[in-house]
Amino acid sequence: MADTIEELIGMRRATDQAHVRVTELREELGPPATEPWSEAQTTTYETAWRAWRDLERDLQEAITQYARNEGLDRNDIEQAMRNAR
**Above 80 in pLDDT, residue 48?**
yes
Q: How confident is the model at residue 63 (pLDDT cuts 50, 70, 90)?
A: very high
Distances (CA, A) of 45 to 8, 9, 15, 68: 26, 25, 16, 35
Categorise residue 75: left if φ over 0, alpha if ψ from -120 to 50, beta otherwise.
Answer: alpha
pLDDT of 5:
93
The residue ranges of every structural domain in the chain are: 5-84
Q: CA–CA separation, 21 vs 65, rounded Å?
A: 27
58 versus 30: which is more confidently predicted?
58
Q: How confident is the model at residue 1 (pLDDT cuts 50, 70, 90)?
A: confident
The answer to whether residues 1 and 64 touch, using CB atoms and an 8 Å cutoff, is no
